Structure 1
Amino acid sequence: MFARTERLLLRPGWGEDAPALFNAIADEAIVDKLPGTPWPYRAEDAEAYLARDRKPGELPELLIYARTHGAPRLVGGIALREDGEEGAELDYWIARPCWGLGFATEAGKAVVDMARDGLRLRSLRSGHFVDNPASGRVLEKLGFVPTGEVEERWSAVRGEKVDCLMYALAA
């Protein structure tokens, strides 16, 4: 699956994206907010992520590229992960130099539309670590509302489970 917005191109990652992926995500401040992502993040991790087998019909895992007058620039990643039979969980990250530019909201809107209109998913949820309120603001802009649930998620940077505030997309 691909999506194009005013400023972004969202597409699956390819093997040749490994150096750009590594350079964008291998930042402690980013991985600190990504449950389940290894730390330290190595070039081999980017290569392995991009080389894994993907089956037809799997939910999309996309890289976010800023469209420029030259070559597009990798600014993050966004994915839908299975969450029950007819639902998914939205996950995303943005490279630190691009924080505060609205890329997460713009990419998130495209993927939420994809989930509802193209994939016809019945429910979407997401979450953020309690010390990452900026992600909560992104989710609220996308129409998610807090559920009041807290889940523990593993942070490799911290070496422990961290409370994650959960959200659901309002119907």
Structure 2
Amino acid sequence: MFIRSERLFLRPAWPEDSEELLVRIGDEAVVRNLARVPWPYTAQDALAFVQKPQDHRLPSFLMTVPGAEGSRIVGGCGLSLLDDEVNLGYWVASGDHGQGYATEAARAVLTLACALGHRRVVAHHFIDNAASGRVLEKVGFRRTGRVAERFSQSRGYASPSREYEVVFEAPADCGGDGEGSIARRRAA
């Protein structure tokens, strides 16, 4: 499965990506904000990631930026299961922060999640990573009011994590344009 957004090409990881992936995500400042990625991140971790089979209902993508000399990996974005709920996760390489790549990729993956029939998607960010919360709000997530301790493999301990959700009311919600219009919350 592939997604083309305005600036990004989102695609599955391939075995030949393992070395570049190791360089791009192998940064403690990036990994410390991720719950399921170990630190230090090793060549074996990168190889395991690129060899992991894709789940068509929960795809994961590398964010790549096409260029004249080929494409380069700038991050990753995808869906997974967390506590039996569909969860959106993403990361951006340190040198590519502040470019809007996380927002663009998250918006594209949320559109896909809706098209795949998922009606609710959750996301979390560690409290000390407020920038991630801003990305989630830009793409239509709303705070659930739940803050819970969540274990981080890279930190080696649990840290407070804020939960967000997007609820799609109908398949027609899948094609929204603009900030936050991709999803509408159900009235409580």
Quick check: TM above 0.5?
Answer: yes
Q: Deviations over 1:61-87 (max 9, x none)?
A: 1100012222111000011012577x5
Give the distance between the partners of 2:17 and 2:57, measured in 1 at CA.
20
Task: After TM superposition, give the deviation of residue 116 of structure 1 in Å.
Answer: 0.8
Give the distance between the partners of 2:154 and 2:17, measured in 1 at CA.
24
Task: After TM superposition, give the deviation of residue 52 of structure 1 in Å.
Answer: 2.5
1:77 match: secondary structure: strand
Give the distance between the partners of 2:5 and 2:68, measured in 1 at CA.
15
Matched, 1:121 2:118: yes
Q: Which residue of 2 aligns with 1:19?
A: 19
Q: Which residue of 1 aligns with 2:90?
A: 92
Residues 1-171 of structure 1 correspond to what in structure 2 (within 5 A)? Answer: 1-54=1-54, 57-83=56-82, 87-117=85-115, 119-169=116-166, 170-171=184-185
2:70 match: secondary structure: coil
Task: After TM superposition, give the deviation of residue 158 of structure 1 in Å.
Answer: 2.5
Structure 2 spans left out of the alignment, 5+ residues: 167-183
Give the distance between the partners of 2:119 and 2:82, measured in 1 at CA.
11
**Percentage of identical aligned residues:** 43
Query: Conserved in 1, the CA contact under 8 Å of 2:63 and 2:105?
Result: yes
TM-score (norm 1): 0.92
TM-score (norm 2): 0.84
Structure 1 spans left out of the alignment, 5+ residues: none
Greater relative contact order (CA < 8 Å, ≥ 6 in sequence) = 1
1:13 match: secondary structure: coil
Query: Conserved in 2, the CA contact under 8 Å of 1:36 and 1:153?
Result: no
Distance 1:114 1:58, change over 3 A: closer
